[in-house]
Chains A and B, each alone.
Chain A
Amino acid sequence: MIRAVDGHSDGSGAAAVGTSAKATPESLRVRVLRQDSPGRESYWECHVIPYEPNMNVISILQKIAARSTTEDGRKVAPVAWDCNCLEEVCGSCTMLVNGRTRMACTALVDRLVEEQPEEIVLEPMSKFPVVRDLMVDRRRVFHSLGRVKAWVPIDGSYDQGPGPRISPEEQEDAYPLSTCISCGCCMEACPQFTKVEVQRMEGESVEAFEARRTAAFDKNFLGAHAISQAMLFNSHPTGKMIADERLEALTDRGGIQMCGNAQNCVAVCPKSIPLTRSIARAGRAATLWAIRRFFDR
């Protein structure tokens, strides 16, 4: 159907003045940090893309894929990247855009050009192993949800009537936490969250390799995302029935004690989730739980 015009000139007359006066570029220079496969050297590559109004980083990557030609005219394989919904609810397209961890779909080119007119720089996340180019392996993000038992422990899916009554205040408290898209931005930005890259060894069975990888995940930091989910379920009337199990996971190796309170997580969260509030709550709950456990012995 019909493409949108420049968002700034939409409706509101006041906003239009600022951008329409500025000359729009004819083309965009895009510098991408590429890597052909795990363990290989990474390298920079430049692409020049014709400018169109209302582009985002996704449409740049789509054009790079369709053209597959670098700035100096070399034919190359398309840049690999992850995406799905393109409306910032699936959590797929996290990458570093001009050095900042964010979702590529909401990275609007007009804004990027305003910030940094020379070029747009795309890099893969640095805290997850690169699969290829901008695509990284984020299975650890989902694994951490299992570590903290981020679910409501229901008896089964057969009809048992409605769930517990919940006040609007409780719902409004829980809902923001529940909009977490597991994008990994909070982990990327966290100084305490470090990369875990486990390579399969010569002659190692798939099972042995996976077990070794899981063990490596389990002793490293959970990250803000999982801590916040643990707090979400510990505040749910049924979810809290296994609150102690979650607190045990949170106080285990790689748990909440790793948090250095840098507060980067909350600053980069694309869904503005109050992650530091969750972490503070988790810290208090963990302390109380540890004391209680000490006296229960």
Chain B
Amino acid sequence: MAGPRVLVIGGGLAGLAATMRLAELGVDVDLVSLVPVKRSHSVCAQGGINSVNTQTRQEGDNESKHLDDTVYGGDFLQHQPPVKEMADWGPRIVDLMDRLGVPFNRTPEGFRDQRRFGGTLYKRTAFSGATTGQQLLYALDEQVRRWEVAGKVKKWEFWDFLQPVLDADGRCRGAICQDLVTMEFRAFPADAVIVASGGCGLVFGRSTMSMVCTGSAVSRCYAAGAFYGNGEFIQVHPTAIPGADKLRLMSESARGEGGRVWVPKTPQDSRDPRDIPEGERIYFLEERYPKYGNLVPRDIATREIFNICTNEGLSVEKDRLCVYLDLTHIPKETLDRKLGGILEIYEKFQGVDPRFVPMKIFPAVHYSMGGLWVDYERSATGGLVEGSTRNQQTNVPALYAIGECDYQYHGANRLGANSLLSCIFSGLFVAPSVVASFDKAARTDATSPLFAEAVKVQERRHAELLSRPAGGENPYDLHDELGKVMTRACTVVRRNDQLAEAYESVCDLERRWQTCSLSDTGSWTNQNVVFAKALGDMFPLAKLILKGALQRDECRGAHYKPEFSMPGVEADDPVERRRLAEEWCDRFEENTKKWLKTTVARHGDDGHPVLTYEDVDTSLITPRPRLYGLVGGEVIEEVWRERQNAKLAAAGA
């Protein structure tokens, strides 16, 4: 019998990091990906990667502050030990990527340069132009190629993961995948399977995500019994370039380098933006959030941009909602050096040079904070026990999840430049855990009935789709409708009536999908059937996202329901202010007790998600009100502090 063998699904940052580390640990890896791994969606990440660094440390920064920023930015919804471990690993990870040859921007003395990103006051973000994700991915791709040439890694590019294969005890024994060129099915026996398949932006139709981000791999694990955590938390990025085929990201680094967001005071002012004097512009983020300015966390920036366009009617254009993102006050040379890549994207797709003309941008679906539920083992010091089999393991034994497709690191809202960190971290960190999980039993043979049965199930599903009569529903049109329903009801602003209605619409679309027919019934490189399958697997995710949002009657991070928002304290009279602040804090504590919980979705037998709620480990940092720019934030904070001090005193006595 050969040595241990692990199957990795997805070759983005997380999948490649795990593959590299596993190969180093002597494990053979099968790496399955829908696209050549160098073309994975990680290449689209632009801004940078966060870690405490020598310079910020001397300004008072440390790993605990990175942890604090991450959980405060995420509205305390994430378990804290994994986040602590990630923040602790940050400096080592950036050092490692540096050693791998990532061309990070440099200071004149030759050190890595850093910039500031949203939700923090420190310059923690290392970057490589404005294509940091691409550069990090390439560095890992190169290392994995080295292992491939050495015979330790076998890549299966243009292959689709169809299902995990579970034995009678519910342990994952491998998977069934399909070759997208020959359409051949194949069983992949493995000692463990790691899913690293990224986000599910296509559930929302158009987003900033790549075309492979259908969420299908995750949905197939969910259908097989894996739990899904915090599905309703979807990040809508404040700044994207609207487009017919996709909404292209305009990185937060544009604001990190000094970009300013504004609208003209006069609605739909028809003048050239450069001719509108300063006094006739509203820099609404700077005005409302003096401390963080244009770098408030993403959920807040998104809501403000959405609000100024929809409620205040100040969109730059009438027929297309957008605001200005202005870089024209920054010297062209600086822009070229630090933001070249993203400015080129704008120029190429919009035909306008953003170095000289303010960009027009609007929010777009960008990141799935939620994902497969995974476990961890807490260490005595509040971090994780390295090599514990529980780390990153789903509720299905030997089935692991890492990267954007796990739910663990970003809570209710992800901070910019934390995703590249969480992907690489979870990829490196999972490897020893997976190795420790190998059981003594021999790997199930590919020819065993367990795999043969599973292959048959997939062959039947495939044949059934191909044999449907012509003239039924068009899968591309159904996808378009799904995207519209989800974008309307479940992005920036959420209302229960709309969510309930959207849930019905999605169920209806799912029924219609049962009768969709294919325009290609061939058995060679049939992209039509692959898309139809992926679309079918979007509905369960759409339903758990909607149901999670419907049931969560509060505002937290990216999940915003005006009906349950907590307005600030507007009174001027000190006594009244104090009373209102007390009330505000009472309500906050009550809400925390009720809703500071992970949503855990299980695929019900009737096809509907079953939701349960799990307590969040907040043992390292006590949850506190998120007061970015809230009116009366000072008095609320004062009352809150007094209460915390009283609690501490009581505990001490």
A interface, CB within 8 angstroms of B: 1-5, 7-8, 10-13, 15, 36-37, 52, 54-56, 58-59, 62, 65-66, 68, 75-78, 80, 82-92, 105-106, 108, 131-132, 135, 138-139, 142, 145-146, 149-154, 156-157, 159-163, 165-168, 170-172, 174-175, 178-179, 181-182, 233, 236, 238-239
* Stretch of B56-64, B517-525, B622-630 contacting A (4+ beta carbons < 8 Å): B517-525
Given contact pairs A5-B317, A7-B349, A7-B350, A68 touches B519 in the complex (Cβ within 8 A): yes
Query: Quick check: is B352 within 8 A (CB to CB) of the other chain?
Result: yes
B420-457 residues at the A interface, CB under 8 angstroms: 428
Name A's interface SS.
Answer: loop
Given contact pairs A1-B247, A236-B101, A159 touches B96 in the complex (Cβ within 8 A): yes
Query: Quick check: is B112 within 8 A (CB to CB) of the other chain?
Result: yes
Contact (Cβ within 8 A) B357 A12: yes
B466 to chain A, nearest CB (A): 12
CA distance A1 to B205 in the complex (A): 9
Contact of B362 among A2, A11, A86 (CB under 8 A): A2
Collect the chain B residues with CB atoms within 8 Å of residue A87's CB: 44, 246, 248-249, 345, 349
Query: Quick check: is B313 within 8 A (CB to CB) of the other chain?
Result: no
CA distance A88 to B527 in the complex (A): 21
* Stretch of B129-137, B376-384, B385-393 contacting A (4+ beta carbons < 8 Å): B129-137
Q: Which residue of B lies closest to A145 (CB)?
A: B145
Apart from A151-B101, A152-B142, A171-B104: 7 A-B pairs, beta carbons within 8 A: A4-B242, A5-B319, A12-B357, A66-B474, A78-B527, A80-B525, A131-B181
Contact (Cβ within 8 A) A89 B131: yes
Interface pairs A-B: 9 shortest CB-CB: A163-B98, A7-B351, A68-B519, A77-B520, A151-B142, A66-B476, A165-B110, A132-B525, A163-B99
CA distance A167 to B526 in the complex (A): 49
Contact (Cβ within 8 A) A233 B101: yes
* Stretch of B32-40, B217-225, B409-417 contacting A (4+ beta carbons < 8 Å): B32-40
B181 to chain A, nearest CB (A): 6
Contact of A2 among B40, B320, B349, B474 (CB under 8 A): B320
1/0 per residue, CB under 8 A from A, across B262-278: the answer is: 00000000001100000
1/0 per residue, CB under 8 A from A, across B290-332: the answer is: 0000000000000000000000000001011110000000000
CA distance A70 to B110 in the complex (A): 58
Contact (Cβ within 8 A) B245 A4: no
Collect the chain A residues with CB atoms within 8 Å of residue B246's CB: 86-87
Contact (Cβ within 8 A) A86 B35: no
Q: Which residue of B lies closest to A90 (CB)?
A: B39
Q: Which residue of A lies closest to B273 (CB)?
A: A11
Given contact pairs A78-B527, A84-B41, A151 touches B272 in the complex (Cβ within 8 A): no
Query: Quick check: is B211 within 8 A (CB to CB) of the other chain?
Result: yes
Collect the chain A residues with CB atoms within 8 Å of residue B322's CB: 2
B interface, CB within 8 angstroms of A: 20-21, 24, 35-36, 38-41, 43-44, 92, 95-96, 98-101, 103-112, 128-129, 131, 134-135, 138-139, 142-143, 145-146, 148-149, 157, 181, 206, 210-212, 241-249, 272-273, 317, 319-322, 337, 341, 345, 348-352, 357-358, 360, 362-364, 428, 470, 474, 476-477, 487, 519-522, 524-528
Collect the chain B residues with CB atoms within 8 Å of residue A7's CB: 349-352
Contact (Cβ within 8 A) B110 A166: yes
B128 to chain A, nearest CB (A): 7
B274 to chain A, nearest CB (A): 8
Collect the chain A residues with CB atoms within 8 Å of residue B112's CB: 162
Given contact pairs A1-B247, A157-B21, A172 touches B95 in the complex (Cβ within 8 A): no
Contact (Cβ within 8 A) B476 A89: no
